[in-house]
Amino acid sequence: RALVDALKKWIEENSELSFLNPGILTGRGKTNQNTGMTLPAQKCALDAFRTDGDKKILIATSVADEGIDIA
């Protein structure tokens, strides 16, 4: 998750890449931790990437290969 955040920040701060307006998608995390995204936040991130056109790139942890339909 730290790498996802670092990559997002790097893209946002890079003048040649900032137009991509990156979004992030991470897992929900363990129940005893406050890290991760809630299910509504995950859906919002996917919607912003898929339909809104607001996010041109989605940076994700391995949650994206766990059967989530991104296309």
pTM of the model: 0.74
- Interatomic CA distance for residues 67 and 30, integer angstroms: 19
Does 67 score more than 90 pLDDT?
Answer: no
Question: pLDDT at position 22, please?
Answer: 94
Backbone angles phi, psi at 42, to 5 degrees: -65, -45
For the chain, give percent helix, strand, coil, nearest 5: 45, 10, 50
pLDDT at 53: 78
CATH number, domain 2-65: 3.40.50.300
Higher-pLDDT residue of 63, 24:
24
The string of pLDDT tens digits covering residues 1-59 is 889 999 999 999 999 999 999 999 988 776 555 677 888 888 888 888 888 777 899 99
- In the numeric block, which tokens belong to residue 46? 């996917």
Domain extents in the chain: 2-65
Q: Does residue 64 surpass a pLDDT of 70?
A: no
